[in-house]
Amino acid sequence: MISILADHDIEGLAVLLFRTLETQGWLSLLEMRLVRFSEIGIPATSTDREVWHTAQAYSMLLLTDNRSMSGVDTLEEIIRGESISTSLPVLTLSTSKRLRERYYREACAERLVEIALDLEAYRGTGHLFLP
Protein backbone atom coordinates (compact mmCIF):
# COMPACT_ATOMS: atom_id res chain seq x y z
CA MET A 1 0.00 0.00 0.00
CA ILE A 2 1.35 3.40 -0.96
CA SER A 3 0.22 6.14 1.41
CA ILE A 4 0.31 9.73 0.31
CA LEU A 5 0.22 12.42 2.98
CA ALA A 6 -1.49 15.54 1.68
CA ASP A 7 -0.02 18.77 3.01
CA HIS A 8 -2.73 20.47 5.05
CA ASP A 9 -3.12 23.44 2.70
CA ILE A 10 -3.90 21.28 -0.35
CA GLU A 11 -6.05 18.53 1.15
CA GLY A 12 -9.09 19.49 -0.93
CA LEU A 13 -7.05 19.53 -4.13
CA ALA A 14 -5.48 16.19 -3.20
CA VAL A 15 -8.98 14.73 -2.93
CA LEU A 16 -9.66 15.94 -6.49
CA LEU A 17 -6.46 14.25 -7.64
CA PHE A 18 -7.47 10.98 -5.98
CA ARG A 19 -10.93 11.15 -7.55
CA THR A 20 -9.20 11.37 -10.91
CA LEU A 21 -7.07 8.34 -10.04
CA GLU A 22 -10.25 6.49 -9.12
CA THR A 23 -12.13 7.59 -12.25
CA GLN A 24 -9.25 6.47 -14.45
CA GLY A 25 -9.28 3.07 -12.72
CA TRP A 26 -5.82 3.36 -11.16
CA LEU A 27 -6.99 2.86 -7.59
CA SER A 28 -8.40 -0.55 -8.50
CA LEU A 29 -4.98 -1.55 -9.89
CA LEU A 30 -2.67 0.16 -7.40
CA GLU A 31 -3.09 0.16 -3.66
CA MET A 32 -2.82 3.85 -2.86
CA ARG A 33 -4.50 5.88 -0.19
CA LEU A 34 -4.68 9.53 0.68
CA VAL A 35 -3.84 10.48 4.27
CA ARG A 36 -4.72 13.78 5.93
CA PHE A 37 -2.82 15.41 8.79
CA SER A 38 -5.77 14.89 11.13
CA GLU A 39 -5.75 11.13 10.51
CA ILE A 40 -2.27 10.74 11.98
CA GLY A 41 -2.37 13.56 14.51
CA ILE A 42 -0.17 16.15 12.82
CA PRO A 43 -1.21 19.71 13.71
CA ALA A 44 -1.74 22.06 10.75
CA THR A 45 0.84 24.34 12.36
CA SER A 46 3.62 21.74 12.15
CA THR A 47 6.96 22.83 10.77
CA ASP A 48 8.31 21.50 7.50
CA ARG A 49 10.81 19.47 9.51
CA GLU A 50 8.07 17.83 11.61
CA VAL A 51 5.98 17.05 8.53
CA TRP A 52 8.91 15.57 6.58
CA HIS A 53 10.05 13.44 9.51
CA THR A 54 6.51 12.19 10.11
CA ALA A 55 6.08 11.25 6.44
CA GLN A 56 9.38 9.38 6.48
CA ALA A 57 8.60 7.65 9.80
CA TYR A 58 5.25 6.40 8.46
CA SER A 59 6.73 5.54 5.01
CA MET A 60 4.44 7.99 3.24
CA LEU A 61 4.99 10.13 0.20
CA LEU A 62 4.41 13.77 1.08
CA LEU A 63 2.31 15.70 -1.46
CA THR A 64 2.89 19.44 -1.22
CA ASP A 65 2.36 22.68 -3.01
CA ASN A 66 5.45 24.65 -3.95
CA ARG A 67 6.84 25.52 -0.52
CA SER A 68 9.45 28.17 0.29
CA MET A 69 12.90 27.25 -0.96
CA SER A 70 14.97 29.46 1.34
CA GLY A 71 15.63 29.44 5.05
CA VAL A 72 17.14 27.03 7.56
CA ASP A 73 13.96 25.11 8.38
CA THR A 74 12.35 24.92 4.96
CA LEU A 75 11.40 21.67 3.33
CA GLU A 76 14.05 22.16 0.66
CA GLU A 77 16.82 22.57 3.26
CA ILE A 78 15.57 19.58 5.24
CA ILE A 79 15.59 17.38 2.15
CA ARG A 80 19.08 18.53 1.20
CA GLY A 81 20.45 18.05 4.69
CA GLU A 82 18.66 14.97 5.94
CA SER A 83 17.58 12.89 2.97
CA ILE A 84 19.44 9.62 2.51
CA SER A 85 19.38 7.03 -0.27
CA THR A 86 16.35 5.26 1.24
CA SER A 87 14.27 8.40 1.89
CA LEU A 88 10.97 8.64 0.09
CA PRO A 89 10.66 11.58 -2.27
CA VAL A 90 8.46 14.60 -1.71
CA LEU A 91 5.90 15.07 -4.45
CA THR A 92 5.48 18.74 -5.25
CA LEU A 93 2.68 20.12 -7.37
CA SER A 94 4.17 22.61 -9.79
CA THR A 95 0.95 24.63 -9.88
CA SER A 96 -1.56 23.30 -7.35
CA LYS A 97 -4.35 25.71 -8.31
CA ARG A 98 -4.37 24.16 -11.79
CA LEU A 99 -5.56 20.85 -10.26
CA ARG A 100 -9.04 22.23 -10.84
CA GLU A 101 -8.35 21.85 -14.58
CA ARG A 102 -9.15 18.33 -15.78
CA TYR A 103 -6.25 18.07 -18.25
CA TYR A 104 -3.66 19.21 -15.69
CA ARG A 105 -5.13 16.95 -12.99
CA GLU A 106 -4.99 13.97 -15.35
CA ALA A 107 -1.35 14.75 -16.15
CA CYS A 108 -0.56 14.88 -12.41
CA ALA A 109 -2.41 11.60 -11.86
CA GLU A 110 -0.43 9.91 -14.64
CA ARG A 111 2.86 11.15 -13.19
CA LEU A 112 1.85 9.95 -9.73
CA VAL A 113 1.06 6.49 -11.11
CA GLU A 114 4.40 6.44 -12.93
CA ILE A 115 6.19 7.16 -9.65
CA ALA A 116 4.10 4.63 -7.69
CA LEU A 117 4.82 1.86 -10.19
CA ASP A 118 8.58 2.28 -9.77
CA LEU A 119 8.76 3.82 -6.29
CA GLU A 120 11.99 2.09 -5.25
CA ALA A 121 13.83 3.76 -8.13
CA TYR A 122 12.81 7.18 -6.79
CA ARG A 123 14.10 6.73 -3.22
CA GLY A 124 16.68 9.32 -2.28
CA THR A 125 15.75 11.69 -5.10
CA GLY A 126 14.46 14.45 -2.82
CA HIS A 127 11.82 16.30 -4.80
CA LEU A 128 9.71 15.07 -7.67
CA PHE A 129 7.41 17.49 -9.43
CA LEU A 130 3.92 16.74 -10.65
CA PRO A 131 3.23 16.69 -13.52
- Tell whether 41 is covered by a domain: yes
pLDDT of residue 69: 62
**Which residues have C-beta within 8 Å of that of residue 80, sequence separation ≥ 6?**
126
**Which residues have C-beta within 8 Å of that of residue 115, sequence separation ≥ 6?**
61, 89, 91, 122, 128
Number of domains comprising the chain: 1
Q: Is the pTM of this model over 0.85?
A: yes
CA distance 80 to 64: 16
Helix (H) / strand (E) element for 121: namely none
What domain range includes position 116?
12-94+109-130
- Tell whether 90 is covered by a domain: yes
How confident is the chain (131 residues) per 10-residue block, as mean pLDDT?
96 96 96 97 93 97 79 85 96 90 96 97 95 94
- Tell whether 28 is covered by a domain: yes
**CB-count burial class (<10 Å; 0-12, 13-18, 19+) for 4:** buried
